[in-house]
Chains A and B, each alone.
Chain A
Amino acid sequence: MIMNRRNYDIVIIGAGVIGCSVARALSRYDLSVLCIDRESDVCEGTSKANSAIIHAGFDAKPGSLKALLNVRGNQMMDQIAEELDVPFKRIGAMVLCFCEEDISVLKDLMDKGEKNGVEGIRLLSREEALELEPGLGDEVYAALHVPSSGIVCPFELTLAFAENAYHNGTEFSLNTEVTGIKMLPETEPHTANKPKDADEAAEDIAEARERLRSGTGYKFMIDTDNGSFVSKCVINCAGVYADKIHNMVCEPSFSIVARKGEYMLMDKSAGNTVSHTIFQTPTRMGKGVLVTPTVHGNLLVGPTAYDIDDKENVGTTRDGLGTVRAKSSMSIKDIPFNKVINSFSGLRATGSTGDFIIQEDEKVKGFIDVAGIESPGLSSAPAIGTYVADIVCRILDPAVNPYYDPTRLGIPRVAEMSVEDRRRLVGQRPDYGQIVCRCEEISEGEIQDAIRRPLGATTLDGVKRRVRAGMGRCQGGFCAPKVMDMLAHELGISYAEVKKNG
């Protein structure tokens, strides 16, 4: 990415769903914003490996940020999905309990949900639950039904936030890992740009004026392996590394542990095994796992939950997958495990405070933590974006961006179109008629779009997350060589340089 400048009003560290949602919320204002990430793509950390659920918000402690932002985020999703062309389905959820004593757990959840403002929760008997979900396990005793729960594509949501922010002026610098953050002396003019040309000098004058106006100057020097940046505010959306980033410039005040969750994903032919997201109440065996259709029609089961030391370790384990299998089978009788097409694990960024940590640091003004964003982080993402934007507004008091456009159009999903729409589109652009990924029926045109768009894909996984080529039952066995060929051609690199990820 070509950097036009090295000084910004705001630098966001981390281009996961939170960083990108914050970027999009800030792009509504007349601010210069840079979003950086150590990976070569957005959505490379926790955002790419989670349950893909938009939770209703009955689980979080009333009065907590988790409760507030989850319920608010859930309510925002219909509009977000509409504006950003992101697949989202409000399919509802059920929470199962497996014995009479646990009815009280369901009632507690119902209470909490009502306090948090979740509407429409009902307690169901086993028989009522079976009517909604005929595949329930024999041990299921009763259930809660929560109609506002939904499912979303976390890749597309993150990308949509990022693309929309980009179109509204946010800059992105990928392959950029923060190595240190320093405070600049407030009075000293910043010297990050050397040598200065006329444009930059003019920019400095303008910024000096602005500093006078807002009373806020450049305060932070963010050093990275891709050069240094200067900013007035830093927004720390660094996921499992948020404590490390925080501690670079602030007094330690929290810590983040990585809590691993392992999942199994099943073929689309298994997608109708359930029609709701099926949760479990915690049992003697520990916290439960969920069974859910995905928004693209697969079946997802998981996750496990255990803390790990190595924040890079996203490996699955035999024991973990075994646990997922055993627990999910309590909820739903006949899960077709012979249709597993992939297993993966993700790391939740579990904060030491028990709640989301979203605030300006008490001592280091202008440094905003958005940390400890574990579940329900994805659900809360839209609301976290606006919540952080409000904090920024209190600090910088920006004008609105007159060119702000909240809408983004996704890449056409050709296979989902009606015969007539598809015929028309393929007629207009024949590349949409050349199928490359046979399992997901993804065309050459869609893959070209995925690569050519701003913030486009540069890796096989990048293509997969954008248009699902390689996401299907053969997992890229057939299309990977062709997609590698296209990436090499479009990016002007050799076959050997085409990467799977990172």
Chain B
Amino acid sequence: MDRHVSLAVIGAGPAGLAAAVSAHEAGIENIVIYERDEKLGGILNQCIHNGFGLHTFKEELTGPEYATRFIDKVRELGIRCETESMVVSISPQREITVVSKRYGLRVVSADAIVLAMGCRERPRGALNIPGMRPQGIYTAGAAQKLVNCEGYVPGKEVVILGSGDIGLIMARRMTLEGAHVKVVAELMPYSGGLKRNIVQCLDDYDIPLKLSHTVVDIKGKRKLEGVTIAEVGPDGAPVPGTEEYYECDTLLLSCGLIPENELSLTAGIGINRITNGPFVDDRLETDVPGIFACGNVLHVHDLVDYVSEEAGRAGRHAADYILSGGAKKNPPNIVKVTPGQGIRYTVPVTIDLGNIEEDVHVRFRVGAVYKKVTIKLMCGDKELTSKRRTIVVPSEMEDVILRKSILEEVDGDIRVEMTGGGL
């Protein structure tokens, strides 16, 4: 072993930065943030559009501005950041192997670890889009990086598959860079992105959004020549006769994000097959003691503000863990949190009722669009809390807060239920 730290934070995106700041504020000084990129800030550096920070800072910021608020804080607190340093494995005993050009290979042991590696985009191959494999097909995020960070606009005639937020944002971005975005096709009958992005990224520029449509063929041997788009039926299969050919030199894919947990697997952390993120308890601790997770590595968020908030909690809990040496104050009383009908997952999956120190956020996503629903958190027949929503959609994360005072009354497993909306 080459070194010992109190807290190792893996990733210096919004989650890692916020976790480090809150852990420091909770009294942990020996913190190192490991970041594989050359800059701090993670994916925010390429998200030059505005719309970040309304919850956190009560103003609308661009991605780099939002990141800089946290980076400045990290610098001010003197938290050590090692950029261009990639963690390649973590042991269940919290030994981290990290490689970098500057320091070579080192093995670092940590009292606690916060996982904040973020997520990646679903690539073309994972979508099983048939056709050729020419140049000109990019995930929306890769194109965003090329345009915004490298100053290279990959094409002029653009088709976008998938209406995730990055795809919508890139529709506008490519348009402002002089490209012609012909259509956005979305496999599902609803958009994968925020409503306001449909308005300000597509409607403003008369870019058509075709729901229940997908790419069924890709043409071009070396360079992309065009794509064929067809309507899909309720079974997900293309409807014959609905094919439309679009000549284009660029196809952008915005078809979902996948938490990046290969590193978590090296530590033997249990992964939820629905979220592709670790199973965590109310303290955001994984099933490997002392390893916490937050942000998009835990589950894909819709807003960075929620990432920062969640990461702040992860940082505080990690600090508690370090300061207490991993010992719990009271005997554990663990109950499960399970999703009901129409709800895909919950974060966390367990709550330790014996050691509640603060309000617990229960976060989840729904599986389809539902209108006029009531969301209730139930313990047996007892309603713990509820909230009404005029509409819930899969593209938005839901957040229900269980107050500490309510949790003190709970004595069994908790179920998230949704009623109304045709359920």
Answer whether A and B touch in the complex at a CB cut-off of 8 Å.
yes
How would you classify the secondary structure of chain B's contact residues: helix, strand, loop or mixed?
mixed
Q: State whether B88 touches A435 (Cβ < 8 A).
A: yes
Q: A320-B130, A477-B120 are in contact. Are A496 and B97 (CB under 8 A)?
A: no
| Distance in angstroms between the alpha carbons of A473 and B146 in the assembled complex | 20
Q: How far is the CA of A320 from the CA of B150 in the complex (A)?
A: 38
Alpha-carbon gap, A433 to B84, bound state (A): 9
Return the CB mask of A407-436 against B: 1 if under 8 Å, else 0: 000000001000100110011001101110
Give the contact stretch, choosing among A129-137, A200-208, A339-347: A339-347
Given contacts A435-B36, A495-B152, is CB(A423)–CB(B105) below 8 Å?
A: yes
By a CB distance below 8 angstroms, the chain A residues around B103 are: 433
> What residues of chain B lie closer than 8 Å to A485, measured between beta carbons?
150
Considering the chains assembled together, what is the distance between the CA atoms of A269 and B102 in angstroms?
30
Known contacts being A475-B125, A495-B150, A499-B222, is A419 close to B107, with CB within 8 Å? yes
Query: Count of chain A residues with Cβ under 8 Å from any Cβ of B?
Result: 49
B239 located at the interface, meaning its Cβ lies under 8 Å from any Cβ of chain A in the complex: no
Shortest distance from the beta carbon of B174 to any chain A beta carbon, whole Å: 16
Which residues of A sit under 8 angstroms from B355, Cβ to Cβ? none
Task: Map CB proximity to B onto A148-159 as digits: 1 under 8 Å, 0 otherwise.
Answer: 000000000000
* B100 and A433 contacting across the interface, CB-CB below 8 Å: yes
Q: Mark B221-262, 1 if CB is under 8 A from A, else 0.
A: 110000000000000001000000000000000000000101
* Distance between Cα atoms of A500 and B154 in the complex (Å): 12
A435 touching B126, Cβ below 8 Å: no
**B145 interface residue per 8 A CB criterion:** yes
A501 close to chain B: CB less than 8 A = yes
Verify B104–A423 contact, CB threshold 8 A: yes
Distance in angstroms from A473 CB to nearest chain B CB is 7
Tell me which of B84, B120, B134 contacts A500 (CB under 8 A).
B134
B99 touches A481 (CB 8 A): no
Interface pair A415/B88, CB less than 8 Å apart: yes
- Supposing A343-B128, A435-B86, A478-B142 touch, asked if A312 and B120 sit within 8 A by C-beta, the answer is no
Q: B121 an interface residue at 8 Å Cβ cutoff?
A: yes
Contact B121 A474 (CB under 8 A): yes
Contact between B135 and A499 (Cβ–Cβ < 8 Å)? yes
Contact A434-B123, Cβ < 8 Å, known A318-B130, A320-B130: no
**Distance between Cα atoms of A310 and B238 in the complex (Å):** 25
With CB as the reference atom, state the residue of chain A lying closest to B217: A315
- Whether A439 sits at the interface, judged by CB under 8 Å, is yes
* CA of A68 to CA of B275, assembled, Å: 52
Residue in chain A with minimal CB distance to B271: A269
Q: Does B20 contact A (CB under 8 A)?
A: no
Shortest Cβ distance from residue A341 to the other chain B in the assembled complex, whole angstroms: 5
From A341, A415, A427, A495, contact of B125 by CB (8 A): A341
> Does residue B180 face the partner (Cβ distance < 8 Å to A)?
no
Find residues 116-136 in chain B having any chain A CB closer than 8 Å to their own CB.
120-121, 123-126, 128, 130-136
Mark A residues whose CB is within 8 Å of B.
264-265, 269, 312-318, 320-321, 340-344, 415, 419, 422-423, 426-427, 430-431, 433-435, 438-439, 441, 443-444, 473-478, 480-481, 484-485, 495-496, 499-502
* 28 sample A-B contacts, Cβ–Cβ < 8 Å, listed by A number: A315-B218, A320-B130, A341-B125, A341-B126, A342-B123, A419-B97, A422-B99, A422-B105, A423-B105, A430-B101, A431-B101, A434-B100, A441-B88, A444-B101, A474-B139, A475-B125, A477-B120, A477-B139, A480-B138, A481-B142, A481-B145, A481-B146, A481-B149, A495-B146, A496-B152, A499-B222, A500-B135, A501-B135
